[in-house]
Amino acid sequence: MSDNVKSDAVKIPPAVDGVGAWLDDRFHGAKGVRVLLKKVFPDHWSFMLGEIALWSFVILLLTGTYLALFFTPSAAPVVYHGSYTKLDGITMSQAYASTLNISFDIRGGLLIRQIHHWAAIMFTVGLMAHMLRVFFTGAYRKPREVNWLIGIGLFTLALVEGLFGYSLPDDQLSGAGLRITQGVMQGIPIVGTYISYFFFGGEFPGQAVIPRMYILHVFLVPGIILALITAHLFIMFHQKHTQMPGLGNTERNVVGQPFFPYFLLKGQAWFFFIFGSLAALSTYAQINPIWLYGPYTPLAISSASQPDFYMGILEGSLRMMPAWEINFLGHTVSLSVLIPALVPLGIIFTGAALWPFFEQWATGDKSFHNINDRPRNAPVRTGIGVAAVCFYGVLWAEGANDVLADRFQIPLYTITWISRVAVFVIPVGAYFATKRICLGLQRKDANMLAHGVEIGIIRQLPSGEFIEEERPVTPEERAVLESKHVTPALPAPLETDVNGVPQPAARGPLGRARALANRAFTETVAVPESHGNGHGNGHGELEAGEHAAIGSHEEH
């Protein structure tokens, strides 16, 4: 079978061979690196989402280093006499002046600056898409909970890194964002004013914050991100990839293409596509034209001030919140600042971090999972995930309520009132609707397994009866359809014994909560027994035979 490839095998040139031997003499690498060459990468489009984030981060490091060569992280005032003549003679910070300089006086500076900004957006988009994929397919399950937590840490740091990054040029728009950040900081009970004074080196705006954010932005935060990415990839390498359900894919194997040459070529292509897309965006879609905003001054503001999209949820939460301030023992507690600043992202991050453990607790499922779930086969998880997306989406859209009001001619306050209701109603509705849709899709799968696939042909029999033509499911389809992992319900938790006493496990509020959660998690549609397709054309037998062969393989 492999003759044609072996006969093609490339002769390794003596020079390369010599270098390899030299290295192996010193590092004993042949065996270990061979494992890397043969490392299996399962093939599915959704596995490329995390790579978007990875390659964007690489591009951020490259472009960021370049920008740092020209950027002056200083709030010291300087009178501008540069190439942007509309601001000639204006006093501005050196940070803003050097950003103008990068944009208008350094060849390629504007391009690299815009690639850096677009890459930051692509980075967070990639992170979000990757996290949603991991959540909806249950790829965070045992043994990958730690990598899930690292991912949440990475996402949090990405938001902080982005906020610092777009605040650095010290333009009017980012200064307004920084002012909001300071206002929120100041509202923290007990320590708020101290945190604000320590961060800004005194009163807002001061001159200390630009160099401080700079060192956090170019050294500390990216350093931690880099370390966490490294850990993330090593853990993934060590635990091996998950894979989608499919024929021949089992919990005990990983099927895909080897790193060398397949993934190397594909990964290279994907890197170039992402980099190329960012270059295209930066060439044809202007981003953050700071020269139009002007330097930051504390008393100017423009309408429709928006942060970068990943901060939109915080902005929307602030806009949505009704006025609510209380006095606690003679101290002011500004709940209309604290709640939006902490609660929505707190729910999402804490909820996401606890979810794998909650799911294990609710289902009692402590087994290893290497084959991903199809979202429909985990209706509660998928429902919660869609609810979270809706919750996030409403808050995010409210962050642009002024733009929405302007574009669609809807009164501003109406939009805010709609979102105040929607943020509670839509996620709940989305949960139940999604769960029903998932169960409906499970029913469709069960039906397909039992009756075959409708192929869209209606036939009229001589008797006048109409029947719908079906074909049996293929082995590949069957493997996917039968991949549903049904967690058995915990032993009759809600039942009581003859004396009306509930099971020990279901006692107490925690026990009752677990029993309720377990009942929701185990609601499923039974998969019909694997058997012939009922057409009697021989396909059924063949499939059953093939399937048995694969089944026996799964056992070793």
Partner 1 sequence: MSETPEEPAGPRRVIGTPSTAPAAVDVAQEPTEPAFSAEPPAPRHAKNAERVAAALFVLAFLAGCGFIAAYVGLEVGNATLPAGTDFVVAAMRSNLALGTCLTIALLALGAGSIIWVRHLTPDIEIAEERHDLNSAPADRAAFKQDFAEGAAISQVTRRPLLRRTMLLATAPLALAPLVLLRDLGPLPQTDLRHTVWRKGLRAVTLGGLRPLRPADMSTPGSMITVIPQGYQDDDNALAKAGVILIKFAPGELHVPTNYDGGTLVSTMNWTVDNIVAYSKICTHVGCPVALYEQTTHHILCPCHQSTFDAANGANVIFGPAARALPQLPLMLDAEGYIVAASDFTQPVGPSFWERG
Using CB under 8 A as the binding rule, whether residue 223 contacts partner 1 is answered as no
Asked if 294 and 87 count as a contact pair (C-beta separation under 8 A), the reply is yes
b/e code 473-493 from CB counts within 10 Å (16+ = b): bebebbbbbebbbebebbeeb
Three-state DSSP class for residue 214: helix
Q: Which is nearer to partner 1, 253 or 530 (CB)?
A: 253
Phi and psi angles of residue 63, each rounded to the nearest 5 degrees, phi first: -70, -35
Nearest distance from residue 355's CB to partner 1, in Å? 21
Q: How many residues bind partner 1 (CB under 8 A)?
A: 141
Q: Which is nearer to partner 1, 232 or 319 (CB)?
A: 319
According to CB under 8 A, which one of 337, 386, 422, 506 is a site residue for partner 1? Answer: 337
Residue 430: CB partners within 8 Å, gap ≥ 6? 383, 386, 387, 389, 390
Using CB under 8 A as the binding rule, whether residue 541 contacts partner 1 is answered as no
Amino acid symbol at 12: I
Asked if 530 and 515 count as a contact pair (C-beta separation under 8 A), the reply is no
Using CB under 8 A as the binding rule, whether residue 414 contacts partner 1 is answered as no
| Binding to partner 1, residues 39-78 (CB under 8 A) | 39-40, 43-44, 77
Nearest distance from residue 504's CB to partner 1, in Å? 29
Q: How far apart are CA 337 and CA 319, in angstroms?
A: 10
Asked if 59 and 278 count as a contact pair (C-beta separation under 8 A), the reply is yes
Q: Which is nearer to partner 1, 82 or 511 (CB)?
A: 82
| Binding to partner 1, residues 492-531 (CB under 8 A) | none
Q: How far apart are CA 137 and CA 135, in angstroms?
A: 6
Q: Which is nearer to partner 1, 132 or 494 (CB)?
A: 132
Nearest distance from residue 79's CB to partner 1, in Å? 12
| Binding to partner 1, residues 161-200 (CB under 8 A) | 176, 179-180, 182-184, 186-194, 196-200
Both tokens of residue 370? 């290497």
Phi and psi angles of residue 142, each rounded to the nearest 5 degrees, phi first: -45, 130
> Per CB under 8 A, which region of 226-234, 246-254, 388-396, 426-434 contacts partner 1?
246-254
According to CB under 8 A, which one of 78, 106, 224, 426 is a site residue for partner 1? Answer: 106
> Per CB under 8 A, which region of 10-18, 104-112, 349-357, 501-509 contacts partner 1?
104-112
Q: Which is nearer to partner 1, 442 or 518 (CB)?
A: 442
What is the secondary structure of 348-405 as a DSSP string?
HHHHHHHHHHHHHHHH---S---BPPPGGG-HHHHHHHHHHHHHHHHHHHHTTHHHHH
Nearest distance from residue 398's CB to partner 1, in Å? 10
Q: Which is nearer to partner 1, 167 or 334 (CB)?
A: 334
> Per CB under 8 A, which region of 118-126, 202-210, 378-386, 524-532 contacts partner 1?
202-210
Using CB under 8 A as the binding rule, whether residue 461 contacts partner 1 is answered as no
Describe the crossing of helices 109-136 and 379-398 by its angle, rounded to 10 degrees. Answer: 150
469: left (phi over 0), alpha (psi -120 to 50) or beta: beta
According to CB under 8 A, which one of 65, 230, 297, 350 is a site residue for partner 1? Answer: 297
Using CB under 8 A as the binding rule, whether residue 367 contacts partner 1 is answered as no
Alpha-carbon dihedral 313, 215, 168, 343, rounded to 10 degrees: 20
Degrees to nearest 5, angle at CA 460 with 454 and 463 = 135
Binding map of partner 1 across residues 255-294, x = CB under 8 A, - = no contact: xxxx--xx--xx-xxxxxx-xxx-xx-xxx------x---
Using CB under 8 A as the binding rule, whether residue 447 contacts partner 1 is answered as no
Q: How far apart are CA 123 and CA 267, in angstroms?
A: 16
Task: Please classify residue 401 by burial: count the beta carbons closer than 10 Å to its beta carbon, then call 0-12 exposed, 13-18 middle and 19+ buried.
Answer: buried
Residue 122: CB partners within 8 Å, gap ≥ 6? 52, 56, 274, 277, 278
Using CB under 8 A as the binding rule, whether residue 377 contacts partner 1 is answered as no
Binding map of partner 1 across residues 5-34, x = CB under 8 A, - = no contact: x-----------------------------
> Per CB under 8 A, which region of 147-155, 384-392, 491-499, 543-551 contacts partner 1?
543-551
> Per CB under 8 A, which region of 158-166, 301-309, 350-358, 495-503 contacts partner 1?
301-309
Nearest distance from residue 297's CB to partner 1, in Å? 7
According to CB under 8 A, which one of 29, 223, 298, 346 is a site residue for partner 1? Answer: 298
Asked if 467 and 458 count as a contact pair (C-beta separation under 8 A), the reply is yes
Interstrand relation of 77-79 and 91-93 (parallel, antiparallel or unpaired): antiparallel
Q: Which is nearer to partner 1, 389 or 479 (CB)?
A: 479
Nearest distance from residue 83's CB to partner 1, in Å? 4
